Structure 1
Amino acid sequence: MSPKPVIGLLGGGQLGRMLCQAAAPLDVEIAILDAENAPAKQINDNSRNINGSYKDAAKIKELASHCSVLSVETEHVDTTVLEEIATTTKVSVCPSWKTLRLIQDKYEQKAYLASKGIPVAESVAIEGGDAMYASLKAVSAKFGYPWMLKARKDSYDGRGNLKISNEADLERAVAEFGKFSCYAEKFCPFQCELSVLVIRTEDDDGRTKQLLPYPAVETVHEDNICSRVYLPPRATPAAVCERAQQVASSVVDKLWGRGIFAVELFVTQDNEILVNEIAPRPHNSGHLFIEAVPYMSQYKAQLTSILDETLPP
């Protein structure tokens, strides 16, 4: 009989806590790397937990030494050490460090998706330093006003974004974003935002084995936080919701590793779908699926997929 797998989790916040709640009735053990009193540790006290930062390479290696699989609560982790673990040990990293690294740089993420035929808003890299103002002027001439200035890294929930509505905003952009690596994105006057969770499994060669999308939900954001979710979306035709599922599945098919992924999308004024960004983990837009679907919550799906167990047909 093979030993029971232990999942190492980088991050023990709200999402990690809910993952532990799903793991308990399945008899799946989770070891958490985070601060001593992190929310997930409050309900998952075991000897394998490690106190420290989930960005600390030495701590990540220590966690990996106790686990058969490493997973993440957040994409903002050290992918260099995860690559080392995945390529030099028998510990699996789910999702793959390649996916995490791609998603960490939102410009590279968009460029990769565009190269694979995924519908995304047009974007261009912004030069930094002394050349930034001239680069912003060039983008304004290319896109016209308004357009979006976005930080390439460490931005989430609408943070790290600035709408450029006129020339006066360029000085503000240099002052607030001058120290960051940035990109410009053509403004999309969308009518609503959708989110689609997709479960992905793969074979031993890294090829997609199964993709299982959840129903599309409409998300409403207030103060950069997802405050409300509607299922079904209030004014989006069923055919557009199905198209959103197809696009989201196509996105996840082009990533690497097992797990659950949230694909956030815009619905344009013409009911076209544009991919906004990807979260390679459980997502706030998916909390309702703890009770709203007959097969499994996003947390059980995360556990089932990364352990390569059987998913619903």
Structure 2
Amino acid sequence: MMIPAAINLGLDLRVLAEAEGSPAALAATAVGDYRDLDTVLAFARDVDVVTFDHEHVPQHILEALLAAGVAVRPGPGALFHAQDKIVMRTRLDELGVPGPAWAAVRNISELEAFLAEHGGAAVLKTPRGGYDGKGVRVVRAAHEATDWFATVAESGIPGALLVEELVDFTRELAQLGARRPGGQAAYWPLAETVQRGGVCAEVVAPASGSAGALAAEARRIAELLADGLDITGTFAVELFETRDGRLLVNEMAMRPHNSGHWTQDGAITSQFEQHLRAVADLPLGATETRAPVTVMANILGGPETGTLEDRYPEAMAAFPDAKIHNYGKTPRPGRKVGHINVTGTEETAVRERARAVESVFLNRRD
């Protein structure tokens, strides 16, 4: 999704794809393992800046790129906080960023102690590698984590699991921003995210009732993180809004994020264009909205029969104002294979319209 933005900005975009036939094939100039140092160094030999669409590139490879004189944005120091949730929680506490109570637990007894102190229920996370509900589970008894502790022990790598209090929240929000190497930053309006089965299903921007103090607090938190972690590029801060009106940081991502896909059609500058501007150290674009409300609906799993493309004529005819984005991925249950953006003036109506378009692609008529 950065390809059209790169063309418009006059940037020569090159992609190291993980496999032949990947969705990035349009711009792929190399295929290889991002965990292999020689592969990455060879790919980066003729580029000015290396950036990422996920946070999993190992630290030693990032450091080797810097040693070879390649600009890495975001840099290894910043990206480490998105790679390891315990490192992130530790740094957020140092910065005074609000978050849930947490601990690094290395065995069943430490988890039992945390549960006893926090109402008998908690959220357990693997510090690395989790996304879209993977590597996250709610536990109400320590023995429910026996398999995860065994996996940590068998890996031979000293470590721990992250446990957090189970936050009583009213909704989930996301603050999207972007920052250049020199510190210039820009922020989009606060958005609401709706989860289904641990996966983001819908985003509404701006979030209803978010003007004023709530938006100001979300912006303050994002600025603390952007400057405190020295982030470069687009980033997202996922937040819980509690019943007493506080905001707590749940997760963060240092890349264009699913919560920001609405910006493609609902904002003056999309998160993908802004990311390229930021990592290329170009002036950032305006982030104002193009409509009072934009709703993004993820297409999860795809149609039961046929392909997404088979559904295009019906969706286009019934909803000519909807913007459809296809990832070119093979459908499977729960997988994000595309999304729809719909804009309008009234939130309820726009949400209903986005869900109706989604239903066409999922063969549903509910």
Displacement of 1:161 = 1.4
**CA deviation profile, 1:173-197 (whole Å, cap 9, x unmatched):** 1124431330211121111111111
1:252 CA drift (Å): 1.3
Residue of structure 2 aligned with 1:145, choices 102, 116, 120: 120
Mapped contact 1:213–1:249 kept (Cα < 8 A): no
Q: Give the aligned residue type for 2:134.
A: R
Q: Which amino acid aligns with 2:42?
A: E
* Residues 290 and 298, structure 1, Cα contact 8 Å, conserved in 2: yes
Q: Please tell me the residue identity of whatever aligns with 1:27.
A: G
Identity over the aligned pairs, expressed in percent? 31
Is 1:174 the counterpart of 2:146 in the alignment?
yes
2:191 aligns with: 217
Which residue does 1:9 correspond to in 2? Answer: none
- Within 2, Cα distance between the matches of 1:245 and 1:309? 22
Task: Give how far 1:143 is off.
Answer: 2.0
Out of 218, 239, 245, the position equivalent to 1:265 is: 239
Q: CA deviation at 1:70?
A: 0.4
Equivalent residue number for residue 158 of structure 1: 133
Contact 1:262–1:280 (Cα < 8 Å) also in 2: yes
SS at the partner of 2:57?
coil
Give SS of 1:251's match.
helix
Q: Which moved more, 1:18-27 or 1:275-284?
A: 18-27
Counterpart position of 1:25: 8
Which of 58, 68, 75 is equivalent to 1:89? 68
Tell me the TM-score normalized by structure 1: 0.84
TM-score normalised by length of structure 2: 0.72
Provide the secondary structure at the position in 2 that maps to 1:191. strand
The Cα shift of 1:261 comes to 0.6
For the 8 Å contact 2:126–2:161, the answer to whether it is kept is yes
Residues 233 and 255, structure 2, Cα contact 8 Å, conserved in 1 = yes
- Say how many residue pairs are matched: 278
Contact between 2:102 and 2:164, CA under 8 Å: does it hold in 1?
yes
Structure 1: gaps spanning 5 or more residues = 1-17, 204-208
4+ residue runs of structure 1 moved beyond 3 angstroms?
234-238
Aligned partners of 1:220 and 1:226 also within 8 Å = yes
Give the partner amino acid of 1:145.
G
Paired residue for 1:101? 80
CA distance in 2 between counterparts of 1:257 and 1:113 reads 14
Task: Return closer, same or farther for 1:176/1:81 CA change in 2, 3 Å cut-off.
Answer: closer
Name the stretch that deviates more: 90-99 or 229-238. 229-238
Match of 1:56 among 36, 39, 58: 36
1:251 aligns with 2:235: no
Aligned residue identity for 1:19: M
1:36 aligned partner: 20
Give the whole-Å Cα distance in 2 for the aligned partners of 1:146 and 1:79.
34
Contact kept? 1:107, 1:123, Cα under 8 Å: no
